[in-house]
Chains A and B, each alone.
Chain A
Amino acid sequence: MSSPDDRSDIAADIPENSEFSEISNDNGGVSRRNFLKGSSVALTIPLIAKGEKIVKAGGAEVKVLGPDKVNITLNINGAQRTASVETRVTLLDTLRNELDMTGAKRVCDRATCGACTVVMDGKPVYACTVLAVDAQGKSIQTVESLDQNGNLHPVQQAFVDNDAQQCGFCTPGFVMACKALLDKNPSPTQEEMEMGLGGNLCRCGTYNGIKGAVAQASQEMKKTRTMKGGRGNG
């Protein structure tokens, strides 16, 4: 006979008798995982009243959030969006489940596949591995912002023209990774492209089309830049 499956998670590495777990027990029976996620946040984010607690850790008083839901404000595609989420909830799940922005996909949910890629302060990030509370105060750009008035962004158009998609489930992530790459490096070499898109996976096997799409989008974006007098096209 044995006990039920205790699914491993990041907190499983913390010994039962550590300071962390003692405090988490003081904190109303929060699971270790919740506490860890909450505590990792508290030291880095600005003051938020709701759901905040002061606990002792390592002899010092620190602020933690959770386990209850907290109100957060996210700057997404230039607009302030609010949501009420537990501190353990990721940016990805907040976008998808709270804000109905489902372009970013949940696939591996642990920083392997890139399907959840969004751009945060100009850099592509895995939204499945960013806590929503940590994303506050950052500028977040999602795939939904790329097409304007029915006109696709050159990266998107290039994906369509080169048939760089089949089922399309990986596509929004690739589009964002590709855009972030080209914004930074308008003419990537083969190696730079492989690096830039190396954090994304496709199961249907669309890489051949994606390579073509990067080449086309690179050309198009350079043209646009020149037309706009050297400015990027956002």
Chain B
Amino acid sequence: MADYKWPEEGKRKYIGKRISRVDGPHKVSGRAKYTYDLNRPGMLFGKILRSAHAHAKIVSIDISAAEKMPGVKAVKIIQGPGTEIQWALDEIAAVVAVDEPTAEDAIRAIKVVYEKLPHFVNEQNLDQVPAAYRRQPTEQTKGEPDAAFKQSDVVTVEGTYGNDVITHCCLETHGLVAEWEDDKNVLIHPSTQSVSSIGQELARALGIPAGNVHVKMDHIGGGFGSKFPIDRWGIEAARLSKMVGGKPVKIMLERDAELAVAGTRPSAYAKVKVAATKDGKLLAWDSESWGSGGVAGTGMPPYPYVWQIPNAKTKHFSITTHVGPQRAWRAPNHPQAALITMSAIDDLAAKLGTDPLDFFIKNIEMTGVRANVYKDELLKGAEMIEWKKLWRPRGEGAVGSTKTLKRGLGLSIHTWGGGGHASDCDLTIHPDGSVEIKLGSQDLGTGTRTTIQIVVAESLGLPFDGVKVYIGDNKYPPSGSSGGSTTIGGVSASSRRASIDALNQLFEKIAPAMSTTPDKLEATGGKIQVIGDPTKSMTWKQACAKLGTQPLTTRGKHPGKESLTSAGVGGAMMADVTVDIETGIVKMNNFVAIQDCGLIIDMKTAESQVFGAMIMGIGYSLYEEKIMDSQTGRMLNGNMEFYKLPGLADVGNFKVHMMTGKGYDERGPIGLGEPPTVSPGAAISNAVANAIGVRVSTIPLTPERVLAALAMKKGGSNG
């Protein structure tokens, strides 16, 4: 009998190999259909009128002119008179029309009268946050921080560090097509990270049974944590469709709305004091932090991050603002925690006159259970980036620096949980030998389709293309939302279990014909054979024919028998940058990532995810910032010219090393969406500090901020 355990390294045919994503040809040819691309028969276009003000009461809305316009099919008030709007571009009313231009005209024809109320949108400076926007602080203490800082043999640094608010900026904006199949059943095509559960949310809002919502999605143009909920526009699209007799209504957010209301990563700022003993042992931490994720404020990132400093004190203020609310953004809270912690510790190492690599390794036991992983990763990374050859003490400029071009190296380490989400799947073996697997999962571009196909083909000993994977439909067995790096753990485990169960049932059917018992059989190379005896074999097709007319279907589940996935990974990153001290421009030279994620199913797509996280990391380290106008309360850069993403020429060279083999593989597959997005900010900020001899306190490290920090340094302040 086959068992669930993942195959040993020498026996893997596809797992861990470099396999091209299965939907690649579909995507490169422009034939992959995303929500945004759907042209359903008779489809109408919906547009949303959005609030002009960040904080205002709606006094009146006049939709009469819009309703009378030719081509307009429905107009609906979403938030009526009396409502208090809490952020600019919030939804006020919607129209449905025969085409987009008509819908846009109708939006302009709606008259809203607002009563403006005071707003607050910029929380960078804690002293300037009005009391009304500042929640009661939360405080925590561990050990004896006050006493520790007073010890005679300590070296202490103090600094202020921060990350500004950024957005997800999915290239495919949020939205959906909604249509009623009859007066009870609605079909939606959302751009979502939650195929199996988003329909339940819509059903609740509409007051219909969950089973009456059919959800379909083939491809999604980016989510990054922002596309879990049905959202107000999703619910309204369904209602508007009903108003127009069930016809399909498509609502996709405009770019300005996408950036203003469809999710942010909260800001995080902190005044930090951190101390080590003179001989370089981390001793004490004290931080006063604040940050905002919009009207709901935001909790404290885990300070101090990764390092379990024995004496630590934290105080955190959650700040509320009139800014579109936060959503999960890859590895919620971790990048902020890493930036603030690793920057402070890097400054401490500099003050001690120590190479931060040596300082990290000297204190590595303080990282807890993964100390050895981090140590191996740091040593590997140092070799990849030639740390010992290039690194020079802060301000001297690493090897290769000139008078105006200063090179620097920086590093950071990070962690993430992962683990597998709940996942059900149905695997069917047909009597003709074809195999299919169905589950209500989604592929965010992480390679989920590909990895499921790898697991099934590997488990059944079939050629890779002998398996067909169906996802993206909530009529398939439910599988979890794709968030928190839990998808690969969930879907690989459930599809492995379904495959092994199916195989064992097939063995039972054919064992008598092969004059043996099921426990003596194995599936390999498109055949079923007596273990270790290829002369006693049957082709896959012959074996499946024994099923008669009844296909064999098994339900795979996660969680389930045998531990097939686990949680908790460690990673390290090192950045090599050059800063032009005349212009303040930071250029990436080399960027290195070393990551552990358990058993890797597809090396090619796994590496891509790490590269991608590093590039998103360069974005938020150097360019991205949601800039709010204090006067109007609106986002100033709600477009892609000024909400800047890195381009191909901005990213430098990459090296990625995945930790695999003994000590890693037996943990099973663990997700990769979050971990490598955590460290870039800290690694790059540390590299810049190393290059120019002064800390630029807040990311993104824009030229203006770099020059200001250099000017402060020149002015004699210790930065």
Asked whether B648 lies within 8 Å of A200 as measured between CB atoms, the reply is: yes
B640 interface neighbour in A89, A166, A194, A201, Cβ under 8 Å: A201
**A4 neighbours in B (Cβ, 8 Å):** 49, 52, 110-113
- A83-138 residues with Cβ-Cβ distance < 8 A to B are 86, 88-89, 93, 96-97, 100-110, 112-113, 115
Asked whether B28 lies within 8 Å of A156 as measured between CB atoms, the reply is: yes
Residue B34, interface by CB 8 Å: yes
Asked whether A1 lies within 8 Å of B114 as measured between CB atoms, the reply is: yes
Known contacts A115-B171, A165-B27, A168-B219, A207 near B34 by CB under 8 Å: no
Known contacts A2-B116, A144-B30, A172-B28, A209 near B611 by CB under 8 Å: yes
Give the complex CA separation of A169 and B169 in angstroms.
12
**Proximity string of chain B (394-429) to chain A, C-beta cutoff 8 Å, 1 when within and 0 when not:** 000000000000000000000000000000000000
Asked whether B52 lies within 8 Å of A171 as measured between CB atoms, the reply is: no
B30 interface neighbour in A6, A109, A142, A209, Cβ under 8 Å: A142
A210 interface neighbour in B29, B111, B605, B648, Cβ under 8 Å: B648
- A42-100 residues with Cβ-Cβ distance < 8 A to B are 86, 88-89, 93, 96-97, 100
Known contacts A201-B645, A206-B608, A168 near B105 by CB under 8 Å: no
Give the complex CA separation of A19 and B52 in angstroms.
29
Known contacts A1-B114, A204-B222, A160 near B172 by CB under 8 Å: no
Number of interface residues of A (CB under 8 A): 65
* Nearest CB in chain A to that of B649: its residue: A194
Which of B455-463, B528-536, B574-582, B612-620 is the contact stretch? B612-620
Asked whether A144 lies within 8 Å of B640 as measured between CB atoms, the reply is: no
Which of B17-25, B272-280, B553-561 is the contact stretch? B17-25
**Proximity string of chain B (19-54) to chain A, C-beta cutoff 8 Å, 1 when within and 0 when not:** 011011101111111101101000000000111110
**B639 neighbours in A (Cβ, 8 Å):** 108, 110, 112
Give the complex CA separation of A168 and B171 in angstroms.
10
* Nearest CB in chain B to that of A146: its residue: B29
**B23 neighbours in A (Cβ, 8 Å):** 168
Known contacts A1-B114, A97-B39, A102 near B33 by CB under 8 Å: yes
* Nearest CB in chain B to that of A159: its residue: B28
**B39 neighbours in A (Cβ, 8 Å):** 96-97, 100, 102
Give the complex CA separation of A161 and B20 in angstroms.
6
Give the complex CA separation of A143 and B36 in angstroms.
17
Asked whether A112 lies within 8 Å of B640 as measured between CB atoms, the reply is: yes
Residue B100, interface by CB 8 Å: yes
**B646 neighbours in A (Cβ, 8 Å):** 207
> Nearest Cβ in chain B — how far from A108, in angstroms?
4
Asked whether B445 lies within 8 Å of A167 as measured between CB atoms, the reply is: yes
> Nearest Cβ in chain B — how far from A209, in angstroms?
6
**B444 neighbours in A (Cβ, 8 Å):** 166-167
Known contacts A146-B29, A163-B20, A198-B648, A208 near B36 by CB under 8 Å: no
> Nearest Cβ in chain A — how far from B644, in angstroms?
9
**A205 neighbours in B (Cβ, 8 Å):** 611-616, 651
Asked whether B101 lies within 8 Å of A86 as measured between CB atoms, the reply is: yes
**A41 neighbours in B (Cβ, 8 Å):** none
Residue B221, interface by CB 8 Å: yes
**B609 neighbours in A (Cβ, 8 Å):** 166
**B716 neighbours in A (Cβ, 8 Å):** none
Known contacts A2-B116, A113-B171, A203-B645, A166 near B612 by CB under 8 Å: yes
Asked whether B50 lies within 8 Å of A107 as measured between CB atoms, the reply is: no
Residue B220, interface by CB 8 Å: yes
Residue B139, interface by CB 8 Å: no
Give the complex CA separation of A167 and B612 in angstroms.
11
Give the complex CA separation of A109 and B59 in angstroms.
33
- Report the contact-size class of chain B (Cβ under 8 Å from the partner): 35 or more
> Nearest Cβ in chain A — how far from B650, in angstroms?
9
Residue A152, interface by CB 8 Å: yes
Asked whether B52 lies within 8 Å of A88 as measured between CB atoms, the reply is: no
**B34 neighbours in A (Cβ, 8 Å):** 102, 105, 169
Asked whether A167 lies within 8 Å of B219 as measured between CB atoms, the reply is: yes
Asked whether B169 lies within 8 Å of A203 as measured between CB atoms, the reply is: yes
Give the complex CA separation of A147 and B30 in angstroms.
10
- B601-629 residues with Cβ-Cβ distance < 8 A to A are 604-605, 607-609, 611-616
- B105-135 residues with Cβ-Cβ distance < 8 A to A are 105, 108, 110-116
Residue A13, interface by CB 8 Å: no
> Nearest Cβ in chain A — how far from B712, in angstroms?
33
- A156-186 residues with Cβ-Cβ distance < 8 A to B are 156, 159-161, 163, 165-172, 175
> Nearest Cβ in chain A — how far from B558, in angstroms?
24
> Nearest Cβ in chain A — how far from B667, in angstroms?
24
**B99 neighbours in A (Cβ, 8 Å):** 97
Give the complex CA separation of A108 and B470 in angstroms.
31
Asked whether B20 lies within 8 Å of A160 as measured between CB atoms, the reply is: yes
> Nearest Cβ in chain A — how far from B262, in angstroms?
13
Give the complex CA separation of A108 and B114 in angstroms.
29
A175 interface neighbour in B28, B111, B616, B640, Cβ under 8 Å: B28
Asked whether B37 lies within 8 Å of A166 as measured between CB atoms, the reply is: no
> Nearest Cβ in chain B — how far from A177, in angstroms?
10
Residue A197, interface by CB 8 Å: yes
**A6 neighbours in B (Cβ, 8 Å):** 108
Residue B446, interface by CB 8 Å: yes
Give the complex CA separation of A7 and B639 in angstroms.
13
Residue A31, interface by CB 8 Å: yes
A156 interface neighbour in B25, B110, B616, Cβ under 8 Å: B25
Give the complex CA separation of A219 and B99 in angstroms.
44
**A207 neighbours in B (Cβ, 8 Å):** 611, 615, 646-648, 651
Give the complex CA separation of A197 and B444 in angstroms.
24
**A170 neighbours in B (Cβ, 8 Å):** 171
* Nearest CB in chain A to that of B113: its residue: A1
Asked whether A104 lies within 8 Å of B30 as measured between CB atoms, the reply is: yes
Give the complex CA separation of A118 and B261 in angstroms.
30
A108 interface neighbour in B52, B446, B640, Cβ under 8 Å: B640
Residue B183, interface by CB 8 Å: no
> Nearest Cβ in chain B — how far from A227, in angstroms?
22
Taking each of B254, B446, B611, B639, which has the highest tally of chain A beta carbons within 10 Å of its own beta carbon?
A: B611
**B170 neighbours in A (Cβ, 8 Å):** 169, 203
Asked whether A1 lies within 8 Å of B24 as measured between CB atoms, the reply is: no
Residue A222, interface by CB 8 Å: no
Residue B641, interface by CB 8 Å: yes
> Nearest Cβ in chain A — how far from B113, in angstroms?
6
**A103 neighbours in B (Cβ, 8 Å):** 29-31
Asked whether B116 lies within 8 Å of A108 as measured between CB atoms, the reply is: no
Give the complex CA separation of A144 and B116 in angstroms.
49
**B36 neighbours in A (Cβ, 8 Å):** 102, 105-106
* Nearest CB in chain B to that of A158: its residue: B28
Taking each of A88, A202, A209, A210, which has the highest tally of chain B beta carbons within 10 Å of its own beta carbon?
A: A202
> Nearest Cβ in chain A — how far from B441, in angstroms?
15
> Nearest Cβ in chain B — how far from A178, in angstroms?
10
> Nearest Cβ in chain B — how far from A215, in angstroms?
13
Known contacts A86-B101, A115-B171, A201-B645, A160 near B222 by CB under 8 Å: no
Asked whether A204 lies within 8 Å of B445 as measured between CB atoms, the reply is: yes
- Per CB-CB distance, the 9 closest pairs between chain A and chain B, nearest first, are A103-B30, A205-B615, A169-B221, A5-B52, A167-B445, A205-B612, A168-B27, A166-B445, A102-B37
- The 26 listed contacts between A and B (C-beta, < 8 Å) are A3-B113, A5-B112, A31-B108, A86-B101, A93-B100, A96-B39, A102-B37, A105-B36, A105-B221, A109-B255, A112-B639, A112-B641, A160-B21, A166-B608, A168-B24, A168-B221, A172-B27, A172-B28, A200-B648, A201-B640, A205-B611, A206-B611, A206-B612, A206-B615, A207-B647, A209-B611
Given A97-B39, A103-B31, A163-B605, list of 19 further CB < 8 A pairs? A4-B112, A31-B105, A86-B101, A89-B101, A102-B36, A110-B255, A110-B639, A112-B639, A112-B641, A152-B25, A156-B25, A163-B604, A166-B609, A167-B171, A168-B28, A168-B221, A175-B30, A194-B647, A197-B648
Q: List the interface of chain B (C-beta within 8 A of A).
A: 20-21, 23-25, 27-34, 36-37, 39, 49-53, 59, 99-101, 105, 108, 110-116, 169-173, 219-222, 224, 254-255, 444-446, 604-605, 607-609, 611-616, 639-641, 645-649, 651, 654
